Amino acid sequence: MKKSTCLPVFLMLCLILLGACSKDTAPQPEQPAIEKTKAELSTEILGKWTLGLESVRTLAETGSIEFLADSTFIYQELNKNGVVGKYLVVSGNEITLANNGKVSGISIEGTKLSGSVTWNANTVKVSGDKVSIAITGSKTELLARAWTLTKFEDGYILNDNDLGADKINVIFSKAGTYFGQFLAGTHIVEEANMNWKWHSTKSDRLVYWETGSQVNEEKNYVIIRELTSSILKTTEYTDGEETNFTFIPLK
């Protein structure tokens, strides 16, 4: 009798299953990373980022970089003067900083940022976290930008001060940064980096304080007399003396 060449049914089933498994486990080609567009980076980069800075000097430096919606940035390294200027998003992973530097190789995953910061030909690798937005509202949208003091009202301080400053800039951010600089030409002669928020009960003023100190709403405050997208008028009291200032957006 001629022997059958048919495979047992159970063996055929095994071969079919093995074939299916081999198809499922076959290595798949890696999908190329999707690069961000300029528009996407312009949105995702907004806010304040605390940074760990890796440089040839030390691996333990810390700092921060903040990007405002009006194209202003604040770059701060520990125990150094802050750098303020205008930024420009030039691609999906690079931003130029005031013609003197750039942030390149930018990667943002949720609230994590990594890349490299170059300033005055010195490049450091950075990685850090985004600071949550602490202050919201329509008034904040108008206030959160860079302002420069004019010579109207008591702005004569620009012509008569002990620092020799001829320009005073202040910046308010949604992350609660209140940053001020006194400049003589392009040279920084004095600066202050504080925190701010709206007064808890009085809608016409904000309060400010240094990091690590207590908030005193009845002593450290600024009255907002007028606030639009093109002008900021404030009143401050020092030792009972009233001083009025007029600011316009920093170009």
Tell me: the pLDDT tens digits for 150-189? 999 998 888 788 888 999 999 999 999 999 999 998 888 8
Same domain, 244 and 144: yes
- Whether 56 maps to a domain, the answer reads yes
Same domain, 117 and 193: no
Same domain, 74 and 126: yes
Same domain, 86 and 113: yes
- Whether 13 maps to a domain, the answer reads no
Same domain, 231 and 156: yes
Same domain, 76 and 113: yes
Residue-number span of the structural domain to which 101 is assigned:
38-131
- Whether 16 maps to a domain, the answer reads no
Distance (Å, whole) CA 34 – CA 163: 51
Does residue 103 carry a pLDDT above 60? yes
Q: What angle do CA 141, 70, 39 make, to 5 degrees?
A: 105
3-state SS class at 13: helix
Structure tokens at 242: 């009233």
- Whether 30 maps to a domain, the answer reads no
Using pLDDT thresholds of 50, 70 and 90, give the confidence band for residue 193.
confident
Note the pTM of the prediction, 2 decimals.
0.73
Q: Are the beta carbons of 72 and 250 closer than 8 angstroms?
A: yes
- Whether 78 maps to a domain, the answer reads yes
- Whether 12 maps to a domain, the answer reads no
Structure tokens at 226: 């007028």
Same domain, 179 and 223: yes
b/e burial code for range 189-206 (CB count within 10 A of at least 16 → b): bbeebebbbbbeeeeebb
Same domain, 145 and 244: yes
- What CATH number did the domain enclosing 187 receive? 2.40.128.370
Is the pLDDT higher at 55 or at 82? 82
- Whether 92 maps to a domain, the answer reads yes
Q: Which residue, of 131, 149, 178, is where some domain finishes? A: 131
Q: Which residue, of 131, 159, 181, is where some domain finishes? A: 131
Same domain, 144 and 232: yes
Same domain, 194 and 123: no
Q: For 8-17, 56-65, 154-163, 233-242, which range has the lowest pLDDT when averaged over its residues?
A: 8-17
Q: Kindly give the residue spans of alpha helices, DSSP state H, lying in the chain.
A: 9-24, 38-44, 138-143
| Residue 74, beta-bridge partner list | 66, 84
Same domain, 121 and 165: no
Same domain, 114 and 181: no
Does residue 208 carry a pLDDT above 50? yes
- Whether 28 maps to a domain, the answer reads no
What are the tens digits of pLDDT across the range 116-150? 988 878 888 889 899 987 799 999 999 999 999 99
